[in-house]
Amino acid sequence: MSNWMLGAVLTIGILFSSACREEEMTPCSIQDKRLVDGVDFYCGNVVDLNRMGANLDYARIVNTQFNSVTAENIMKPAFLHPSENLFHWTEADQLADYCASHSKRLHGHTLIWHQQLPPWMLNFRGDQTAWENMMREHIFQIVNHFKGKVSSWDVVNEAFNDDGTLRNSIWKKNLGSSYLEKAFQYAHEADPAAKLFYNDYSLVINPVKRKAVLSFLNSLKAKGVPIDGIGLQMHLFNGFPENVEISNAIDEVWKNDYLVHISELDISINPFSQALDKAPQEELVRQAEKYLYIFKTYDRIHASYKFGITIWGVGDRDSWIRYFYNRADFPLLFDDNYQPKRAYCKLIADL
Ligand code: G3I
């Protein structure tokens, strides 16, 4: 082999191996600086105590990086209220104890929804008064049980359709549209100190739905119904929605005098369900930029409107997107091995 050829082979080899390293390299390590240190608002995640016990890296991330916690499933009606006369507190109490002993805020998710309802609730029969009593008991018992431990609640979740009409849930069918104001009132009676939220998806990408929700909630607030804030779920994609739509939605919510909770943030990189065995580097770069844009955009609103940003999962392997849509996806700040992704590193470096 000539010197020239040897040089070329070596150069290609070096380039190739550094490209591989670039692709495989963890872009930063979990720093002494925490994610929450870069911002003046709460930074949260959904926390699963079983995963914490099973994986030290998961536990380290949750312990060090976040100061707010939401339960992904164990505080939903099907888990907390499995039979009409039975409440099941064990796992949620453990989570509340963890939060208290680790100085983390606990956000309650969710009291009234059309999904993850226990069968007895779905099959409940009775007149309007019976339904009102049942809903009041459900809300009152739960909020009262966690009084002083849960500082805020998603009182009603996903009550609107995409066209801005009210979803025909069991609550709407049996109580009419007044179930929303009643739900907020019952929660407030049980814990007057708790911040109360309406939480929904597509409020960023769908201005029709957003305007309908705002106008409905404004009319309740005008009657004195205690609604403190709106949760913008934000299950987003790298390329969609445009950044300007995100900032417009955030602005519209605080300008209507609601606390803004970015309540379920994740950024999918595989909207068309391609067969991927790992995340393409260029998508991870775009994802990092989008996360940073959202954090910076949120950070610039007035402090009195910032309730916080909650990421919906710790490592990519934990994401609901994988099992719900049965697709490979990498939407979170940490990878399958709980190592930092570019998005985490960019937030740590640039916030
Ligand atoms: O608990 C059962 C278990 O007993 C059973 O063996 C297993 C078999 O499938 O299912 C378990 O239930 C799963 C549950 O999560 C708890 O792990 C359900 O199948 C699964 O569908 C459910 O998914 C949750 C989903 O809400 C339900 O709609 C996701 O984890 C959770 O991330 C997701 O969260 C929602 C928010 O609450 C509201 N906004 C949208 C967001 C994403 O869908």
Query: Whole-model pTM above 0.75?
Result: yes
**Which residues are catalytically annotated?**
158, 264
Q: Select from 76, 88, 116 the residue to mutate for testing ligand 1; criterion: most ligand atoms less than 8 Å from CB.
A: 116
Asked if residue 2 is part of any domain, the answer here is no
Domain of 321, CATH number, reads 3.20.20.80
- Displacement of CA 187 from its chain's centroid (Å): 21
- pLDDT tens figures, 59-79: 999 999 999 999 999 999 999
State the closest ligand 1 atom to the C-alpha of 79, by its place in the atom list counted from 1: 1
List the structure tokens of 288: 């990092």
Q: What percent of the chain has pLDDT over 70?
A: 92
Residue 13 clears pLDDT 80, i.e. is over it: no
The answer to the question of residue 21 being in a domain is: no
Residues 6 or more apart in contact with residue 340 via CB below 8 angstroms: 26, 27, 28, 29, 30, 333, 334, 348
Q: Which two tokens stand for residue 327?
A: 């697709």
Q: pLDDT at position 70, please?
A: 98
Q: Domain total for the chain?
A: 1
**Mean pLDDT of the residues in the chain:** 93
Cα(252) to centroid(ligand 1), Å: 30
Q: Which residues contact 139 (CB under 8 A, 6 or more apart)?
A: 111, 112, 155, 183, 186, 187, 190
Residue 153 belongs to domain spanning: 27-350
Residue 17 forms part of a structural domain: no
The answer, yes or no, to whether any atom of ligand 1 lies below 6 A from the CB of 200, is no
Give the pLDDT confidence score for residue 1 in this predicted structure: 42
Q: Which tokens hold the place of 151?
A: 């500082």
CA of 7 to the centre of ligand 1 (A): 56
In short, whether 50's Cβ falls inside 6 Å of ligand 1 is no
More confident site: 16 or 255: 255
Separation of alpha carbons 130 and 125, rounded Å: 8
